[in-house]
Chain A
Amino acid sequence: SQKIEQNSEALNIQEGKTVTLTCNYTNYSPAYLQWYRQDPGRGPVFLLLIRENEKEKRKERLKVTFDTTLKQSLFHITASQPADSATYLCALDSGGYNKLIFGAGTRLAVHP
């Protein structure tokens, strides 16, 4: 069966540290994978998109990698800040028409 798994339900880290979130999938062949941030009671906000032919994407303190052999994406936040506290969702396209399937998310708490 098709699955998307984000390996940690919740993470607590100290401000300034680098954190890595993991997204693994099975029985999908996505053309691209996306990461979103969601704050409580709000809709998701787009962060990064990485395509199947790209190994790495960066945006400010964020970095995403995509390994189609391992069927895994890693999401890194460097020099974390309390404002980075949120739930981070990975999503992949399920075969066209921009239909996204989401992982369960990882709740990140960055403590001062």
Chain B
Amino acid sequence: GAVVSQHPSRVICKSGTSVKIECRSLDFQATTMFWYRQFPKQSLMLMATSNEGSKATYEQGVEKDKFLINHASLTLSTLTVTSAHPEDSSFYICSANPNRVGETQYFGPGTRLLVL
């Protein structure tokens, strides 16, 4: 149990375009999901907390207009990278937990974004 999926697994896009990444909890509901980015050989950096039915909470230094987050249901959160640039190329990972405080996070397999 506790499976989180992401789609797409990898995407290549041209500079200036927008890219949407989906994160789904397949067998549990998640009021809260988290979005991370990871550069090569570096750790996961939390970008934002996605809250079902309300606005996302962004970490310091993360542009909310650049990284749009929508948590439309208890099993789906989307991250849209708007007007992507080469420096946005990274590994984006989402996580969720089954609505219980102190529970482990279940991570998606990640999405590799390459902006040309």
Interface residues of A (CB under 8 A from B): 31-32, 34, 36, 41-46, 49, 51, 89, 91, 93, 96-105
Using Cβ atoms and an 8 Å threshold, which residues of chain B touch A46?
Answer: 104-107
Using Cβ atoms and an 8 Å threshold, which residues of chain B touch A103?
Answer: 43
Tell me, rounded to whole Å, the shortest Cβ–Cβ distance linking B61 to chain A.
14
Tell me, rounded to whole Å, the shortest Cβ–Cβ distance linking A64 to chain B.
13
Of the residues B32, B45, B104, B108, contact of A34 by C-beta under 8 Å: B104
Using Cβ atoms and an 8 Å threshold, which residues of chain A touch B93?
Answer: 43-44
Tell me, rounded to whole Å, the shortest Cβ–Cβ distance linking B65 to chain A.
22
* Residue of B whose beta carbon sits closest to that of A36: B107
Interface residues of B (CB under 8 A from A): 4, 6, 32, 34, 42-46, 49, 91, 93, 95, 97, 101-110, 112
Q: A97–B59 Cα gap in the complex (Å)?
A: 14
A98, B43: Cβ atoms closer than 8 Å: no
* Residue of B whose beta carbon sits closest to that of A31: B102
A42, B32: Cβ atoms closer than 8 Å: no
Contact status of A98 and B107, CB under 8 A, knowing A51-B102, A104-B42: no
B102, A105: Cβ atoms closer than 8 Å: no
B102, A44: Cβ atoms closer than 8 Å: no
